[in-house]
Amino acid sequence: EIVMTQSPATLSVSPGERATLSCRASQSVSSNLAWYQQKPGQPPRLLIYGASTRATGIPARFSGSGSGTEFTLTINSLQSEDFAVYYCQQYNNWPPLTFGGGTKVEIK
Amino acid sequence: QVHLVESGGGVVQPGRSLRLSCAASGFTFSSNGMHWVRQAPGKGLEWVAVTSYDGSDSYYADSVKGRFTISRDNSKNTLYLQMNSLRAEDTAVYYCAKGGNWFDSWGQGTLVTVSS
């Protein structure tokens, strides 16, 4: 099973600033990585797949990068609606599909 | 647009069974793989099971293998999760999700609480 590790667990950012979230895989997942956003009381929402391709309707301030074992989700100019928990998920080698533990982006 | 509505959750005693349903609309259900993903209270996401577009292939997380069964009825645009021998650690919100390798649409979830 591929273990996904996200850091930091919590990220405090001021509105308008940039947030950089990291996701590491225990072995290479190539570019087979997705990112999700989850707000309290809501289901997750797909942001990114293929490590860097934005899903339909996702604003350009969200960008993904990386390959192999190291990945980054960058959120430029944080908006109030961006404060949430973010999860990465690998789909290179499954079952099982595996998620990282999440990064909470909170208001500084 | 894609609409997924889960139902069937509730409080159940350890060792008992429960069947969840997920009604799908807004897309060609019979052409898409479907998953169940769960989230324990205050915790992260855990993939549970997947079924292929026609139900011929299914895979499970080790934590539920042998106890849970995923199935689908394409004539009713409905996904199911039969959960047997439930344990306290199965307590979670269960989401159905559309997708192959990733999850492009999610339902709102249904809460399953396993408690005596």
A78 in Cβ contact with A17 (< 8 Å): yes
- A100 and B CB contact within 8 Å: yes
* Per-residue pLDDT tens digits for B21-40: 999 999 999 999 999 999 99
Stretch 53-92 of chain B: residues touching chain A, C-beta under 8 Å:
59-62
Mean pLDDT of B63-86: 98
B102 in Cβ contact with A49 (< 8 Å): yes
Mean pLDDT of B100-115: 97
For residue B50, the chain A residues in CB contact (below 8 A) are 95, 97
Q: In this predicted structure, what is the pLDDT of residue B101?
A: 96
User: Residue B72 — pLDDT band, cuts 50, 70, 90?
Assistant: very high
From first to last of its 108 residues, what are the pLDDT tens digits of chain A?
999 999 999 999 999 999 999 999 999 999 999 999 999 999 999 999 999 999 999 999 999 999 999 999 999 999 999 999 999 999 999 999 999 999 999 998
For residue A30, the chain B residues in CB contact (below 8 A) are none
For residue A42, the chain B residues in CB contact (below 8 A) are 108
Quote the DSSP letter at residue A83: -
User: Residue B82 — pLDDT band, cuts 50, 70, 90?
Assistant: very high
User: Residue B18 — pLDDT band, cuts 50, 70, 90?
Assistant: very high
For residue B62, the chain A residues in CB contact (below 8 A) are 96
Closest CA in chain A for residue B50: A95
For residue A32, the chain B residues in CB contact (below 8 A) are 101
- What number of C-beta contacts closer than 8 Å exist between A and B? 57
Identify which of A55, A94, A96 has the shortest CB distance to residue B104.
Answer: A55
Distance (Å, whole) CA B88 – CA A79: 38
Which has the closest alpha carbon to B81: B62, B100, B97? B97
Rounded mean pLDDT of chain B?
A: 98
Distance (Å, whole) CA B73 – CA A6: 37
Stretch 21-80 of chain A: residues touching chain B, C-beta under 8 Å:
32, 34, 36, 38, 42-46, 49, 55
* Per-residue pLDDT tens digits for B40-71: 999 999 999 999 999 999 999 999 999 999 99
Distance (Å, whole) CA B58 – CA B15: 23
Distance (Å, whole) CA A75 – CA B60: 33
